[in-house]
Structure 1
Amino acid sequence: MTIGEALKEEQKRLGLTSEAMAAGVITKGTYSKVVNGKQRLSSDLLVEILFKHDIDVSDFFEMIKSTYMSKEKFEEEILTNLNFPH
């Protein structure tokens, strides 16, 4: 899942419009480009959006891990979790 897809999922979970999700941080147009994969978002702005809506940062990064983590590292983590569940 990409950052944009995860933001869209959180937006739906919270019952917010895209305008409300972006308000005070980025424009609605920029937010739309991010969720549609047409523009990247700086880490500062991403964190600001997450904090603004009380979205757990750890949970959010867990959602996007498989997309941004190297395949080898992701597979290693899966195997570790299978052998040593939390």
Structure 2
Amino acid sequence: QTSQSFLECLRNNLLDISIDPRPYGTHSFRRGGCQYLHTVLKWPFWQICNWGRWADNFDNPGTIFKYLLSWNDNPDEER
């Protein structure tokens, strides 16, 4: 399955449950993985950055914070 066909299925599934699919893409799973590692497994930031290959020396934490906190996150919605 290509990433494009997966994305189409994902967006159709979101429509099925009345969620606007426009803000979501395959990168949503990368963000979700980052949030899971931080929230559930309690990984430290440097370890998440290493996992995501964002910053070898943790010298640019902007990406990880963008992934952990976003305008389209709903803290009241159970994950």
TM normalised by structure 1 equals: 0.30
TM normalised by structure 2 equals: 0.32
